[in-house]
Structure 1
């Protein structure tokens, strides 16, 4: 794990390099950035050499500790300079379950219209939407309804295939259900099924619709006595 002093140095180098490139309206360059790119390439090679998915994820979580300073520096500068390193951090952060940082990086990349990592054929909005949704669906509770709603709001104006957006509506609907918001959960689950009938939430939707219908007479009765 990188020391606090090293992370601080890394943060300041990344911030200064990003700000300098923005001031000069040029691409990122310099020895510090070249070293960071070389480190990223080395980390990719290390991960590619591990066949076990479980072991690879454990190694990725270990390696990600060395990138916190860089990520924080780029986010602090907030220049939007294209940088393959910060783009690569998005899927890696989701992979290791560092959700808060993943969402912050995703928002940064989206706001500045930056590209997805080069190994992905999807554009950044689609990648961000799908990774947030799949993280929530594969690990319930990892993202709350508020976080998923923010991803939905941020990506609503971007074009993407319906199947990806349906996953996000499903994830948000399930999160709302878990938090006890039955009516909004039904609304979002219905939208998910509209976008993709095979999204996988029809049984839950049918169950919640029955519960909602059962609650309506009770609510009407309560209103009548008020």
Structure 2
């Protein structure tokens, strides 16, 4: 773990270099070179690990070393290509740090940054799919009274991901998965059935095999029953 003073230095120098970089070229500077070298060593370590679960755990352990650098680039950067930054975005999403991953994604998509060459998908597609898959996994693994607050947090992250990738060209199946996840999160947050239906219907329109038809039918019945038993839904307020 680096000292606060060292962390401040790394962030400040990274911000300065990122702000001075030509966005038409790759990022450079002292902190970029230091962290690119560290990333190279980190990849070697990860390559030697066979277990996917162990790889994720190692990424979680390695990520703090990049925090000051990434904060500096996000603070002062003007969009130069940066493999360190983009790899950190992917790793954050891999370990389930949706807030951290989306934070980098906002910068990356604003400046049109691509992921490193070894990744075949574009940035928007990766962000949309990984956020959706993480959200679906969390919802499936959460039960009882713990579910609504977890779902509420996921609604926030998923809504940001939808907004960020709305204008991007991507496969309909990926976008459908994102709306499916947001629909489920709205449903499990409780009290947001109409929002849930909107997103699940959008998912079905994008992909008939999204696996949401039965969910839509159940929510439609539940909403109809709810409105039938809500006096405010069938009676107008008395005039003032």
Task: Compute the TM-score of the two structures, normalised by the length of structure 2.
Answer: 0.86
Measured in 2, the distance between the counterparts of 1:134 and 1:117 equals: 21
Within the alignment, does 1:97 sit opposite 2:96 as a pair?
Answer: yes
Within the alignment, does 1:117 sit opposite 2:116 as a pair?
Answer: yes
Within the alignment, does 1:173 sit opposite 2:172 as a pair?
Answer: no
CA RMSD of superposed structures (Å)? 2.0
Post-superposition offset of 1:211? 0.4
Question: Which stretches in structure 1 are left out of the alignment for 5+ residues?
Answer: none
Measured in 2, the distance between the counterparts of 1:222 and 1:110 equals: 42
How many residues align? The count is: 225
- State the match for 2:226 in structure 1: 215
Measured in 2, the distance between the counterparts of 1:172 and 1:157 equals: 17
Matches within 5 A, 1:118-133: 118-133=117-132
1:162/1:195 contact within 8 Å kept: yes
SS in structure 1 at match of 2:36? helix
Post-superposition offset of 1:201? 2.7
The more displaced of 160-169 and 124-133 is 124-133
1:2/1:65 contact within 8 Å kept: no
Measured in 1, the distance between the counterparts of 2:174 and 2:121 equals: 11
The more displaced of 91-100 and 199-208 is 199-208
Structure 1 residues 220 and 9 mapped into 2: Cα distance closer, same or farther (>3 Å)? same
Structure 1 residues 178 and 209 mapped into 2: Cα distance closer, same or farther (>3 Å)? same
Task: Compute the TM-score of the two structures, normalised by the length of structure 1.
Answer: 0.91
Post-superposition offset of 1:207? 1.6
Measured in 1, the distance between the counterparts of 2:134 and 2:166 equals: 19
1:170/1:188 contact within 8 Å kept: yes
- State the match for 1:187 in structure 2: 198
SS in structure 2 at match of 1:144? helix
Deviations 1:164-214 (A, max 9, x none): 000110011011111220011011111111111222333322221210122
Question: Which stretches in structure 2 are left out of the alignment for 5+ residues?
Answer: 140-149
